Structure 1
Amino acid sequence: MKPIRALIVAAALAATLPGLASAQRGPDSLGADWRERQDQARGGVQSGRLVPLGRVIEMISRRVPGRVLDAGLEGRNYRVRWATADGRRIDFIVDAETGQILSGG
C-alpha cells in the first residue's frame, strides 16, 4: 500500500473511533446524532451488511486524488466530503451496502 493511501485509510479508521474524531475537530460536522450513526455503521460492518468506510475512501482516492474532509453514514449511504488535490470540494454519496458511488466526482 502506498504511504499516502495508508495515511488516508488510517485517518478514516481513526474518524470512526467514538469520541476521537470530535475531540480533534471540535463539534461534529455531520450532526448531533453522529455518534449514534457511528455505532450503526460499525455494527453494519461487523455483521457484513455494510462495506467498511476505509474501503470506500480507498476507492475514492484511486478515482480522485485528494483527502478526506469528513465521512459518515447518512441513512443507507455514506457521505464522504473530499478535498481534491487542486483544492475543490466534492461530496461523494456511496451506497453503504454495495460500495457503489452514487454521485460525486
Structure 2
Amino acid sequence: MKPIHFLFAAALAAAALPGAASAQRGPDSLGADWRARQDQARGGVQSGRLVPLSRVIEQIGRRTPGRVLDAGLEGPNYRVRWATTDGRRIDFIVDAQTGQILSAN
C-alpha cells in the first residue's frame, strides 16, 4: 500500500473510533473541498513537489507523542490535527514542500 493511501486509511480508521467524532468539527472538519485537496496532495507527492504526509506525521509523532485526528493540504501547507497522550489537541501547520513545522497551536 502506498504511504499516502495508508495515511488516509489510518485517518479513516481513527475517525471510526469511539469519541473521534466529538474531536472533529462537524461531519467533515477539513472542509467541503477536502477530496480535491487530497488529489492535489497526491499529485504533488507523486511529482516530488510535496513531502509525503506520512513523513510529516512520523516527524510530529517523534516530537509530540500522540495520534493524528485528521490531516490534509490547506494551500501550500499541511494542517495536522493531533491528539497528545495527555489529551490536548494541537494543530500543526507544516510547509508541504519542505516538511518544516511552521506552527503548533
Check whether TM > 0.5.
Answer: yes
Asked if 1:58 is matched to 2:58, the reply is yes
Q: Which amino acid aligns with 1:43?
A: G
Q: Which amino acid aligns with 2:43?
A: G
TM-aligned CA distance change 1:67 to 1:11, over 3 Å: farther
Q: Distance in 2 between matches of 1:10 and 1:86?
A: 28
**Structure 2 unmatched ranges of 5 or more:** none
Q: Distance in 2 between matches of 1:99 and 1:45?
A: 12
In structure 2, the residue matched to 1:73 is 73
Q: Give TM-score, length-normalised by structure 1.
A: 0.78
**Structure 1 unmatched ranges of 5 or more:** 1-8
* Alpha-carbon distance, 1:29 to partner: 1.4
Q: Give TM-score, length-normalised by structure 2.
A: 0.78
Aligned residues: 93
Which deviations, in whole Å up to 9, do the C-alpha atoms of 1:15-60 show, x marking residues without a partner?
A: 58xxx67x95683210000000000000000000000000000000
Give the aligned CA root-mean-square deviation in angstroms: 2.6
TM-aligned CA distance change 1:104 to 1:28, over 3 Å: same
Q: Which amino acid aligns with 1:75?
A: G
* Alpha-carbon distance, 1:13 to partner: 3.9
